[in-house]
Every structure is written in structure tokens, then in C-alpha cells.
Amino acid sequence: MPLTTPDGRYIIVHGRLWRSSNPRLTEAQRTALVKELSAARRAVKAALRSENAEELAAARAAVHAAKVSLGERGAPWWDDGAKDFNRYLAKNTPYAQWYASVSGERDC
């Protein structure tokens, strides 16, 4: 399971922040959206195999739509006005000191 920031807004993968799913989603909503995302990713793989540009574009749009619905892309799901640090290196964000303390990285 990936490391999650104390506020639950991000998971950290290889030192980079990735926005977490919206915790306000019900379990049923989240499950349905994850199924949609999985199906869309399978469609991307199939379109790449078949080299069909139209199917690939549609599949990638479906991936994006599912991720927006999950809260992982698009407008941040939190409403306190805090900046979105999605895709930033943790060491270059306000989470740097916390991340250094939990990861053992010294260059933060």
C-alpha cells in the first residue's frame, strides 16, 4: 500500500505526489468508478494492440473521465483553497519535512 500524506490528499510513489481519490465518495461509487477505470485501461491496451487511433482516443478519454470522477484529476476535491501539488516531487512541496522524516530521504 502506498504512503499517504497526513491529510489524505496524496499518495506517494517514487517520491512523487499523486492525488488520492475523493474520500467523500461512497464505497459503492468508488467501486463502480474503479471498475470503469479498469475497463477503460483494458480498452486502451486493446486499442494499442490493434493500432486503432479512434478507439485509442475514446479509451483514453474514458480513462480521463473515470479519473476525474474519482477526484484524481480535474479540480481538487478539497474545498479549503489549498494548492494542488499533484505530480510534484514531495521534496518540493510543503510535505517535504514530513516526507523526509518518514522516508529517510536526506535531500528533501
CA-closest candidate to residue 67, choices 40, 100, 27: 40
Q: Whole-model pTM?
A: 0.85
* 33 in Cβ contact with 70 (< 8 Å): yes
Integer Cα distance of 37 and 42 in angstroms: 9
The predicted-structure confidence for 9-49, as pLDDT tens digits, reads as follows 999 999 999 999 999 999 999 999 999 999 999 999 999 99
Integer Cα distance of 29 and 12 in angstroms: 23
Domain ranges of the chain: 1-20+84-108, 26-71
The lowest-confidence range among 34-38, 54-58, 69-73, 99-103 is 99-103
